Amino acid sequence: MNYVIIGNSVAAVGAIRGIRKIDATGHITVLSRENHVAYGRPLISYLLGGTVTEKRMPYLPEDFYRKNQVNLLLGAEVVAVESGASRVKLASGETIPYDKLLVATGGDPFVPPIEGMNGKEKVFTFTTWDDAAKLKGLAYDIDKVVVIGGGLIGLKAAEGLSQLDKQVTIVELADRILSAAFDRTAGRIVAKKMKANGIEVLTEDTVVRIDGEGSEITGVTLKSGEFIACDTVVVAIGVRPAAGFLKGSGVEVNRGVVVDDRMETSVAGIFSAGDVAEARDFFSGGKNPMPIWPDAYIQGDVAGISMAGGQKDYQGGLAMNSIELFKVPTISMGITNPELGERYQVLTYQNPEKYEYRKIVLENDLLVGVVMVGNVDRAGIFAGIIRDKVAVAPFKEHLLAPDFGFVHLPKEIRSSLFAPQGKAA
């Protein structure tokens, strides 16, 4: 069997391991348009800020590709998938045949057209190792930066730049930062911490023009009319599934590459996983892109097993984010911004002085969402309760307790998790 994987990040790694669970000898080729072995992509902000070195960037043990007999081709950008002929075409003109194909190309940064942007040297996106290296390489020549976008990427980029003593302003179109993954209160707490560390946070505004002469930037003009002096702009509005090369392949692409519960696309033999894919949502059952690291691994694993002829069903994507900014840890999972009304019940605890906050979202008798700021210890217990659909009625009043744990759950659950076999209660 000849497996070809386009992309070389966490979904690809999950897929390689998934394939090897079933097929020890099939030929695996990984095509990456980047020039690096798989690396911890979210680590790029740490690399920028200087809290990790290049040496720590590789995500896998050095012998991973060899041990798993993977033929890794770097700098190999796929420009087309010829599904009729079962081969992919590279930018170099070379074609590579496959029996089973995995599209795991992740996301491309979305850069809207902004007046004055063309020809400016110091406009960056921030999603790759090379992006971070470029920004860091020019850091000596950077003083003031405007980051467009107050999501996870924008905030981490801002933190990294601030660690390099750059003056940073974040401009966010929504009325708060972290609006996608976190709720209003968590966003406010994080914004307060960012400001306390010298970062300007502007909301309900956006950059309409990048000002300057030639390749130099002198500042940006906002929709509100305000002018902010800066020499560098980082565009961190969001990412879009990197699926453009699938045009003409017959593979159905909606917001992402549409896949079934085996991660197979509309074209038999072609699979997709990770940020580029649009798979089933854990709660709604509908399909949507779920651009988060753990889910990319899980989808990759399912895809790999399916490609090798095994059977494993995807359990549905559960949004989950852990982000620490200026030493305030925050974790969110599931539905964090529930619609108002009777459908959801929300429990909260707050201690703003200590940057502490906890929010629990219930739907009937089930836990569906959690936000934690400050004390995030053992957050995963909530993830387990969500995934296993544990009825919360018996322990609902303990959900906000800082030491919430298994003692609060029914004994049968504890025993099933921790007791020796045959000793279950």
Partner 1 sequence: MKRIYSIEDACIGCHLCEVACITEHSRSKDPVRAFLHEAVRPISRCTVEEWEGGVVSLSTNCRHCDEPDCLRACISGAIQKDEAGVVRMDVEQCIGCWSCVMACPYGAVQRNLKAKKANKCDLCPDRENPACVDACPNRALVYKEGSQK
Stretch that binds partner 1, among 216-224, 347-355, 361-369, 376-384 (CB under 8 A): 376-384
**Shortest spacing between CB 135 and partner 1, in angstroms:** 19
Q: What residues from 162 to 221 belong to the interface with partner 1 (CB under 8 A)?
A: none
CB atoms near residue 308 (< 10 Å): 20
Could you give the CA distance from residue 31 to residue 34 in angstroms, rounded to a whole number? 9
Q: Does position 377 bind partner 1 by CB under 8 A? A: yes
Output 46 or 282, the one with its CB closest to partner 1.
46
Figure out which of the listed residues 224, 391, 407, 412 binds partner 1, where binding follows CB under 8 A.
407
Q: Does position 313 bind partner 1 by CB under 8 A? A: no
Q: Does position 320 bind partner 1 by CB under 8 A? A: yes
Figure out which of the listed residues 24, 347, 400, 419 binds partner 1, where binding follows CB under 8 A.
419
Q: Is 284 helix (H, G, I), strand (E, B) or coil?
A: coil
Could you give the CA distance from residue 185 to residue 351 in angstroms, rounded to a whole number? 11
Figure out which of the listed residues 155, 323, 335, 360 binds partner 1, where binding follows CB under 8 A.
323
**Shortest spacing between CB 406 and partner 1, in angstroms:** 6
Which of 310, 334, 332 has its CA nearest to residue 321?
Answer: 332
Which of 77, 65, 87 has its CA nearest to residue 7?
Answer: 77
Output 88 or 305, the one with its CB closest to partner 1.
305
Could you give the CA distance from residue 279 to residue 286 in angstroms, rounded to a whole number? 8
User: Which residues touch 147 (CB under 8 Å, ≥6 apart)?
Assistant: 154, 157, 158, 161, 168, 169, 170, 171, 233, 234, 236
Output 67 or 223, the one with its CB closest to partner 1.
67
**Shortest spacing between CB 366 and partner 1, in angstroms:** 15
- Give me the sheet containing 70-73, strands edge to edge: 70-73, 27-31, 2-6, 100-103, 270-272
Output 152 or 246, the one with its CB closest to partner 1.
152
Stretch that binds partner 1, among 69-77, 201-209, 230-238, 325-333 (CB under 8 A): 325-333
**Shortest spacing between CB 260 and partner 1, in angstroms:** 21
**Shortest spacing between CB 351 and partner 1, in angstroms:** 17
Q: Does position 316 bind partner 1 by CB under 8 A? A: no
Q: What residues from 44 to 103 belong to the interface with partner 1 (CB under 8 A)?
A: 46, 51-52, 56, 58-61
Could you give the CA distance from residue 220 to residue 145 in angstroms, rounded to a whole number? 10
> Can you list the positions of beta strands (E) in 205-258?
207-211, 219-222, 227-229, 232-235, 239-241, 257-258
| Pairing label, strands 107-109, 239-241 | antiparallel
Figure out which of the listed residues 293, 314, 355, 357 binds partner 1, where binding follows CB under 8 A.
293
- Across 382-392, b (16+ Cβ under 10 Å) vs e yields bbebbeeebeb
Q: Does position 326 bind partner 1 by CB under 8 A? A: no
Could you give the CA distance from residue 199 to residue 134 in angstroms, rounded to a whole number? 22
Q: What are the residue ranges of helices labelled H in 50-112?
A: 64-67
Q: Does position 403 bind partner 1 by CB under 8 A? A: yes
**Shortest spacing between CB 69 and partner 1, in angstroms:** 17
**Shortest spacing between CB 324 and partner 1, in angstroms:** 6
Figure out which of the listed residues 108, 329, 349, 396 binds partner 1, where binding follows CB under 8 A.
329
Could you give the CA distance from residue 134 to residue 122 in angstroms, rounded to a whole number? 10
Q: Is 349 helix (H, G, I), strand (E, B) or coil?
A: strand
Output 227 or 418, the one with its CB closest to partner 1.
418
Q: What are the residue ranges of helices labelled H in 109-242?
A: 129-137, 152-163, 184-196
Site string for partner 1, 240-279 (x = CB under 8 A): ----------------------------------------
Cα–Cα separations (whole angstroms), residue 54 to 22, 79, 105, 266, 326: 34, 29, 23, 39, 22
Q: Does position 297 bind partner 1 by CB under 8 A? A: yes
Output 128 or 169, the one with its CB closest to partner 1.
128
Q: What residues from 36 to 55 belong to the interface with partner 1 (CB under 8 A)?
A: 40-43, 46, 51-52
Number of residues that bind partner 1 (CB under 8 A): 53
Could you give the CA distance from residue 228 to residue 211 in angstroms, rounded to a whole number? 10
**Shortest spacing between CB 127 and partner 1, in angstroms:** 14
Q: What is the dihedral of CA 330, 177, 189, 124, to 10 degrees?
A: 70
Cα–Cα separations (whole angstroms), residue 77 to 72, 94, 169: 12, 10, 34
Q: What residues make contact with partner 1 under the rule CB under 8 A?
A: 14, 40-43, 46, 51-52, 56, 58-61, 293-294, 297-298, 301, 320-324, 329, 331, 333, 376-381, 383-385, 387-388, 403, 405-408, 411, 414-421, 423, 425
